[in-house]
């Protein structure tokens, strides 16, 4: 391990590190290992933007299609100043393994623009989104590549993408998921990732003998994933005792009142200043002793440095790629189980699949039906990962990659590659 860490890995190298280990455990021949590891198609486009104040700025947008052996490419669009090709490749690869793991008929993709949407007006954001959509249009399609929201994008951005794509290709609600309900979005899509996190947390608590009733939960990130996970976990009997967002951290050992916190965030756009809690430096969030720790903000946050103060019985990865391989190894040595991202946060893409299906058949399901179908998919995936982990005596992350790689390999072979 030390040998490998003489230099810091990039995000894509980190994902491939895990992939290579799992592929080796499965005995995949080198030629297939490489075909399934590398990306199929990578687009980089220039996006000039005239700001409302007349200033001309230049951004770059990316769409990476990693693997389409099992179906159309599927993955979110991220708006963040740090978006770059390596990160998009890493996230696209994770989507391949995630869609295969929950056994939905999609491949893996990801996209993004290196902009700061918080500094933009709605007009600027709409212009940028439409320009980006036009420039990657040739790679999209309802049976080719279907974007969705990710960090700093939402239903509104998806509506603009759908509208722009439709100008050239005709009315096509199935071209994006995570749309507003009024434009063909699915009931239950907004809360799906957080609900999926809660489902797997309940299964893992049973397996690791952690009583959910009164379990102390700590969450990094209170956006879509973190806030919905908090709501569902409290409904399941847990106590969320500490949360951090980009601005601040808060703690209350008796349990934070999540409905009041949601009302506070709706108004203030941050958890900072929430009255019924003590302040906590946001970077100390991982040091709060708890039963369940949920990183649900950004990738690369748990490293060989930040792993040290962690005092928890279980980690559920709400975010994508939050733990680097070095920290993952340290957690394994310390006996702290990790439910990996490709399983834990797969609820979002699973309901995206339900949304796409509903768009294609023009028949819509109610929220109860969506949640029931989601539970069944997550439950099956969790069981398969657990059984693979027991059979090969490997951590859940390795087991999850192994289940997923086997499915992608089977599809690749059947296509005659």
Site for ligand NAD, rule CB under 6 A: 150-152, 193, 220-226, 244-246, 282, 296-299, 318-320, 345, 348
Q: By C-beta, is 25 or 246 nearer to ligand NAD?
A: 246
Marked catalytic residue, from 33, 74, 98, 110: 110
CB of 35 to ligand NAD, least distance (A): 26
Whether the Cβ atoms of residue 337 and residue 107 lie closer than 8 Å to each other: no
Contacts of 199 (CB under 8 A, 6+ apart): 347, 374, 375, 378, 379, 382
**In 137-287, which ranges are continuous DSSP H helix?**
155-169, 192-207, 224-235, 258-268
Question: Secondary structure of the chain: what % helix, strand, coil (to 5)?
Answer: 50, 15, 35
- Supply the DSSP symbol for 308: T
**Exposure of 373 by Cβ count < 10 A (0-12 exposed, 13-18 middle, 19+ buried)?**
middle
* 367 or 387: CB nearest ligand NAD: 367
Nearer to ligand NAD, 147 or 221 (CB): 221
Integer Cα distance of 95 and 106 in angstroms: 9
Q: Which residue is nearest to ligand NAD (CB)?
A: 223
44 is catalytic: no
Minimal distance, residue 318 CB to ligand NAD, in Å = 6
DSSP 124: H
Q: Are 290 and 252 in contact (CB under 8 A)?
A: no
Q: The tokens of 22 are what?
A: 């799992």
Nearer residue to ligand NAD within complex by CB, 220 or 324:
220
The smaller minimum CB distance to ligand NAD, of residues 23 and 100, is found at 100
To ligand NAD, the closest distance from the beta carbon of 174 in angstroms equals 18
| Bridge partners of residue 323, in order along the sequence | 302
Q: Please provide the DSSP assignment of 352-375 as one string.
A: HHHHHHHHHHT----HHHHHHHHH
Active site amino acids: 110
């Amino acid at each position: 391990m030390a040998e490998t860490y003489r230099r810091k890995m990039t995000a894509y190298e980190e994902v491939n590190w895990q992939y290579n280990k799992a592929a080796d455990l499965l005995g995949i021949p080198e030629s297939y290992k490489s075909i399934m590891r590398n990306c199929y198609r990578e687009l980089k486009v220039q996006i000039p933007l005239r700001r409302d104040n007349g200033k001309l700025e230049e951004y770059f947008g990316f769409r990476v299609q990693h693997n389409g052996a099992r179906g159309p490419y599927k993955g979110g669009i991220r708006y963040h100043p740090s978006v770059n090709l390596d990160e998009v490749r890493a996230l696209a690869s994770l989507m391949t393994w995630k869609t295969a793991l929950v056994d939905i008929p999609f491949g893996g993709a990801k996209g993004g623009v290196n902009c700061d949407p918080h500094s933009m007006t709605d007009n600027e954001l709409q212009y940028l989104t439409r320009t980006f959509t036009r420039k990657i249009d040739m790679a999209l399609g309802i049976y080719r590549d279907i974007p969705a929201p990710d960090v700093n994008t939402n239903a509104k951005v998806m509506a603009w993408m759908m509208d722009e794509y439709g100008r050239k290709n005709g009315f096509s609600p199935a071209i994006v998921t995570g749309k507003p309900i009024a434009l063909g979005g699915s009931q239950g899509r907004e809360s799906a990732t957080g609900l999926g996190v809660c489902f797997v947390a309940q299964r893992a608590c049973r397996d690791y003998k952690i009583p959910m009733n009164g379990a102390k939960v700590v969450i990094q990130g209170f956006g879509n994933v973190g806030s919905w996970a908090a709501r569902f976990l409290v409904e399941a009997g847990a106590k969320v005792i500490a949360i951090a967002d980009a601005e601040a951290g808060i703690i209350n050992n008796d349990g934070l009142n999540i409905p009041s916190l949601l009302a506070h965030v709706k108004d203030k756009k941050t958890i900072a200043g929430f009255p019924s809690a003590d302040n906590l430096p946001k970077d100390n969030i991982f040091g709060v002793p708890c039963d369940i720790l949920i990183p649900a903000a950004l990738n690369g946050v748990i490293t060989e440095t930040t792993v040290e103060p962690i005092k928890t019985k279980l980690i559920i990865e709400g975010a994508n790629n939050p733990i680097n391989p070095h920290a993952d190894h340290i957690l394994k040595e310390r006996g702290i189980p990790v439910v990996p991202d490709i399983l834990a946060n797969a609820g979002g893409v699973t309901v995206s699949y339900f949304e796409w299906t509903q768009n294609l058949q023009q028949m819509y399901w109610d929220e109860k039906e969506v949640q029931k179908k989601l539970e069944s998919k997550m439950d099956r995936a969790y069981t398969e990962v657990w059984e693979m982990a027991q059979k090969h005596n490997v951590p859940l992350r390795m087991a999850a990659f192994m289940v997923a790689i086997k499915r992608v390999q089977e599809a690749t072979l059947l296509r005659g590659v």
